[in-house]
Amino acid sequence: MEGAAGAADAGQEDSSPAAQESARAEDARAEDEAGSAPARAAETIPRVVTPDSADRAAASVHERGLILRARVAIETHTAFGYVEARRLLETHARQYPRGRLAREREALLRQLR
């Protein structure tokens, strides 16, 4: 008789809390996989970095660096610092005549006059 009861139990699903939780987790995973395929596909598409955008980023870093170094040189309050700041700001003016930091460059140049 035990064999028949065992066979009947084997055909039924395990109704323990752990088994129910496992089944719910499996169902949730299946829904996630079905529902988020487009989102997952969008995440896997690599961002294209064009040479142009890389050049702009590098130029931006260089432009900020020139202004920052000029500002630091001015803050030394020495003749050498003022000469170095003017050289950096003139370099900035040649390389970035209409750069994003052109107004700051002009303001710093006014301080040196």
- Predicted confidence at residue 10, as pLDDT, reads 47
Mean pLDDT of the chain: 78
Same domain, 65 and 40: no
pLDDT in tens, 60-75: 999 999 999 999 999 9
> 67 and 41 share a domain?
no
H helix intervals, the chain: 2-11, 17-35, 37-44, 51-75, 79-95, 102-112
Question: Would you state the structure tokens that stand for residue 48, as one six-digit string?
Answer: 């294209």
Domain for residue 10, yes or no?
no
pLDDT at residue 98 in the model: 93
CA distances from 79 to 14, 69, 108 (A): 86, 15, 15
- Domain annotation covers residue 65: yes
**Would you say residue 83 lies in a domain?**
yes
Tell me, yes or no, whether 78 and 26 share the same domain: no
Give me the half-sphere count of Cα atoms (radius 13 Å) on the Cβ side of residue 83.
3
What is the band of 27 on the pLDDT scale with cuts at 50, 70, 90? low
The total number of structural domains in the chain stands at 2
Residue 9 forms part of a structural domain: no
Is pLDDT above 50 for 54? yes
Residue range(s) defining the domain that contains residue 38: 16-45
pLDDT score recorded for residue 58 = 82
